[in-house]
Structure 1
Amino acid sequence: MKRDSRLSGVLHVLLHMAEHDGPMTSETLAKAMQTNPVVIRRIMAGLRERGYVRSEKGHGGGWTLSCDLGAITLRDVYDALGGPSLMAMGNRAEAPGCLVEQAVNAALDDSFREAEALLLARFETVSLAALSADFHARLQQRGGPFPKDHDHGE
């Protein structure tokens, strides 16, 4: 089953952007997310519409953060991505004729809604500043500066 990793990828590049002095091109961000620059531009457009990033065209242009990391939560980024599905599981049939399957669907639907509400509530409590602080703590434990030429082929 294919997982939607856009949220994880976008959070990754946003934190890299916070560590980088100056704009980052779609090509550079695409390398970090291991995707195509067109995908980056599409994703970043949703973040730009919400005021989280801005873009500059031309030589020396690219994407930059346009607000404080403490002002952006995981929920904000999730919403800017269009609210992708959080659950990989689902019902076998959406409109079953079988009464047993209807009962199963009802129980699963309630459980999925509750789980999704809990996850989204948690997303609202985690800011990009908290992720950045965690990154910096990990970097300090490793005992070294963040390499400016960090390779994303890990």
Structure 2
Amino acid sequence: MKRDSRLSSVLHALLHMAEQDGPMTSDALAECLSTNPVVVRRTMGFLRTAGIVASDRGHAGGWRITADLAAVTLRQLHDALGEPALFAVGNRHEMPGCLIEQTVNAALDQSFAEAEALLLARFAEITLADLAADFAKRHAARRNPKEP
């Protein structure tokens, strides 16, 4: 089963954008993400609707972050992307009248719901500013490795 990597891609794109002084084109973002500019435009459109980014047309145009990085959480981004499935595992639904299938699904539904609630709660605690700070720390460490 193919995993939905849009949240990861959006975070990647937003961190690149946060490092720029001006807007980034869909082509530039697509190069950073190793994808097609059409995919970037489609995905960024969700964030524009949520008020997180804006796009400018023309020669100096492109995508820019309009929201405060400290105010945008991973949960908000997940929601803006249409709440994609968090897990690649799921229940069988081939025989809904089967009591065994019902028993298994009930047990798994409870576990999936609890795991999803925990993950979404954690997403609500992590902001883009947190990720930007972690990136800055990692970037500085790479530029200035400690002497042995």
Aligned residues: 144
Deviations 1:6-65 (A, max 9, x none): 100100000000001111001111122222111111111111111111100011100001
Residue 150 of structure 1: aligned partner: none
Structure 2: unaligned runs, 5 residues or longer? none
**Which letter does structure 2 place at the counterpart of 1:34?**
S
Change over 3 Å in CA distance of 1:94–1:110 after alignment to 2: farther
Q: Structure 1 stretches (4+) deviating beyond 3 angstroms?
A: none
Shift of 1:135: 0.5
For 1:14, give the aligned amino acid: L
**1:23 corresponds to:** 23
Deviation string for 1:116-146 (max 9, x for gaps)? Answer: 11100000000000001101111111125xx
**Superposition map of 1:7-86 within 5 A:** 7-86=7-86
- TM norm structure 1: 0.89
Q: Distance in 2 between matches of 1:95 and 1:132?
A: 47
Once the two structures are TM-superposed, the CA of residue 96 in structure 1 deviates from its matched residue by 2.1
Q: CA RMSD in A?
A: 1.2
Q: Please give the secondary structure, in 1, of the residue aligned with 2:84.
A: coil
Write the mapping of 1:132-147 to structure 2, written as runs, cut at 5 A: 132-143=132-143
Task: Please give the secondary structure, in 2, of the residue aligned with 1:2.
Answer: coil
Structure 1 residue aligned with 2:92: 92
How far 1:94 sits from its partner (Å)?
A: 6.0
Instruction: Give the counterpart letter for 1:143 in structure 2.
Output: R
Gaps of 5+ in 1: 145-154
How many angstroms does 1:100 deviate by? 1.0
Distance (whole Å) between structure 2 residues aligned to residue 140 and residue 27 of structure 1: 27
Q: Residue by residue, what CA displacement relative to the aligned partner does 1:78-126 show, whole Å, maximum 9, x if unpaired? A: 1110100001001122652211111000000111111111100000000
